[in-house]
Amino acid sequence: MNLTFENRYAIGPNETKNLDTEGLRKNFLIEKLFGEDNIHFTYSHYDRYMAGGAMPVNQKLKLETIEALLKEEYFLSRRELGIINVGGDGKVEADGELIDLNYKEALYIGKGTMEVYFISNDPAKPAKFYLNSTPAHHSYPTKKVTKEQANKIELGSLETSNHRVINQMLLHTVIQTCQLQMGMTELQVGSVWNTMPAHTHDRRMEVYFYFDLPEGQSVSHFMGPVNETRHIWMQNEQAVISPPWSIHAGAGTSNYTFIWGMAGENMNYDDMDKCPITELK
């Protein structure tokens, strides 16, 4: 089986404040998601969220169950899955249905889908399927969402270095899901700040995946309570876990794109406690 995983337990703000740089990265940073002909997941105990990547090159990759972790006959027995392709053109096969999934296109696969495969059209330009999965209580149909079909929100300005376009893709206002929500925010040229002003939402956790970052450039991701923030330096195609008690914002040395995925108690995208910039410490 070409599937590997790691397990991350949830910790609170009091434990986090005592972590050094290595400890902070070990608990929250997902450094490597893509490996040739491999599927890799990080399982977070914040809302039992799974973030990972599938990169088929020379073979068709099957999404197998993880017996030691899920203890289910197949992966989506009690889960739903969101996919956004951040690499070359590819295909996803869901219970025999073959779906084209190209760069920056999203796909939702519902609970109860027994067989899922990942395929690249060209091994020289392999697909990179970024994966998010959450527990699910109901089965909703498989559905593809392109950038053109996404609900778009334009925010910020070049003057405040945060001009960005939010593409709400796997969101309850666009498609039906149980609790998983995913979208993609594209920073415009000259802008580097995302999610600013920052916010928290105590009833939802979140994972950020940064990509489209030019070679030699980095992103500094900010987390922690409003009055005691910390930072994690991140590279292209890395992800970071954001607990419900933490802000989540970042600034890059260049513009970039990031995928946000979240899950929790509610589905209200605007349910957030905004943090005035001048009150961040």
Q: Which residues are annotated as a binding site for Zn(2+)?
A: 199, 201, 206, 248
Q: Which residues contact 129 (CB under 8 A, 6 or more apart)?
A: 53, 54, 55, 83, 84, 85, 86, 87, 90, 92, 101, 118
From the list 217, 148, 178, the residue with the least C-alpha distance to 76 is 178
Sheet of 61-62, strand order: 61-62, 116-120, 90-94, 97-101
Beta-bridge mates of residue 261: 182, 207
158 φ/ψ angles, rounded to the nearest 5 degrees: -65, -30
CB 154 within 8 Å of CB 188: no
Exposure b/e, 53-62, CB count within 10 A at least 16 = b: bbbbbeeebb
Q: From the annotation, which residues make up the binding site?
A: 199, 201, 206, 248
Interacting residues of 53 by C-beta distance below 8 A, sequence separation 6+: 33, 34, 35, 39, 40, 128, 129, 130, 131
